[in-house]
Amino acid sequence: MSNFTRESREYFVYILTNKSNEVFYIGVTNNLKRRMYEHRNKLVAGFTKKYNIAKLVYFEVTNDIYSAIKREKQLKNWHRDWKINLINTFNPGWRDLSEC
């Protein structure tokens, strides 16, 4: 019998946008608070830094990393209108949820 025990974790699939809600970024993390800090302070070079994307408008939580990755890929393949409808249902005012 293995001594390995898997610790229960939370994984977040999230959607960010810029101030004008024109550009979307979809990602996965196990620490949404830390990841938002990184996006906001532009600590990681890449798409979000280049396009000033740091407004959290949607997120989901799961306990399974594989489900989170699968959902991230699914959302990335959605049409823009579907993403907008998802955000409107979850966050009709498009508030920055990281500030709540």
Containing domain of residue 55, as a range? Answer: 11-99
Q: What pLDDT shows up at residue 5?
A: 47
Q: What pLDDT shows up at residue 3?
A: 43
Domain presence at residue 5: no
Query: What domain count does the chain have?
Result: 1
pLDDT tens, residue by residue, 50-62: 999 999 999 999 9
pLDDT tens, residue by residue, 6-44: 556 999 999 999 999 999 999 999 999 999 999 999 998
CATH number of the domain that 15 lies in? 3.40.1440
The radius of gyration of the chain's CA atoms, rounded to the nearest angstrom, is: 15
Domain presence at residue 6: no
Domain presence at residue 3: no
Domain presence at residue 4: no
pLDDT-derived band at 99, boundaries 50, 70, 90: confident
